[in-house]
Structure 1
Amino acid sequence: MSGVPFHYVDLQAFAYATEDDRRVEDALRTYLPEEFPVERAESVGHHGDRIVVLSARVENADDVRHVLSRLATSDDLDEILDELDRRVTEDCELYLYLDKQGALAGDVALGRGISFRAKVEAYPAKKDAAVENARETLSEL
């Protein structure tokens, strides 16, 4: 596969006051190419507790392919493929929630803690075309 029919992939995770933000970043890096920059922003929760927002936008085709290939190693890939119609929006965006705790151990699985949003290429920009492009790409990896 020379091209990859995704414009970008956004990954985001929150490191709450009870968590080590370096470990949360390590979990996020499970999906990212080596040395990929992770942005950090500090926020404050409702009760004044510190929250570090960690995020990365992957736009380069090789880097997007890397993220998708990591996703394709998941034991949940069949579930993801079966649910693509529900996980792709009318704006051609694929949304997944991934297991932050498992990612820290190097596991790739659906769960909670890491949000995954990818803009799927589709011409014309219709949900059905985006679902098919996502299905074809994830099946080939």
Structure 2
Amino acid sequence: MIHRVTFRAFVASTEDDGKVREALSLFVPPESVSKTGVVGHFGNEILILTSTLKKREGLKFFDRLREGLPEGEMKRLRREVELRVDDDCNLHFRLDKQAARRGEVRLSDSGDAISVCAHLESYPARRERALKVAGDLL
């Protein structure tokens, strides 16, 4: 059902990367997080933390998501699934970084969040088929 689930979080120069790693560790093993340094538009240093879960581990993440996300937010995710699955069979959503640091699972509309991209298995690879897979996951 899942090829991989990729997580990405940006760490501004004013943030503590340890705290963002702590937020990510709610969803991924801490040792799986890699970091890349980039320079922002105004010359500020930005870290990008990423991690990828493959197949079985990705399914376990969706188990944690269903258990931890409040019912109203899970309903919202299900309702918006057509908007969140792209033509390449990826399901996109964001999780609240600050809530994750507190051990809570919440959706976010903010750019300052943990971005999640789940590449869904669908044979043949078609968006319609990926929508069904996403519906089954959620």
Letter in 2 for 1:122: S
Which of residues 23, 41, 62 in structure 2 aligns to 1:27?
Answer: 23
Root mean square deviation, CA, Å = 1.3
Moved over 3 A (4+): none
Aligned residue number for residue 44 of structure 1: 39
Do structure 1's residue 67 and structure 2's residue 61 form an aligned pair?
yes
Q: Which residue of 96, 99, 110 maps to 2:96?
A: 99
Contact preservation (8 Å) 2:10, 2:49: yes
The alignment-based identity, stated in percent, is 33
1-structure distance, mates of 2:26, 2:34: 15
Match of 1:126 in 2: 126
Counterpart-to-counterpart distance in 2, 1:41 and 1:82: 34
Task: Give, in whole Å, the separation in 1 of the partners of 2:134 and 2:55.
Answer: 17
Give the structure 2 partner of residue 81 of structure 1: 78
Shift of 1:6: 0.6
Q: Structure 1: how far apart are the matches of 2:125 and 2:31?
A: 29
CA distance in 1, matches of 2:93, 2:135: 14
Provide the aligned length of Structure 1 versus Structure 2: 132
Change over 3 Å in CA distance of 1:54–1:29 after alignment to 2: same
In structure 2, runs of 5+ residues without a counterpart are none
Structure 2 Cα separation of the partners of residues 95 and 124 of structure 1: 20
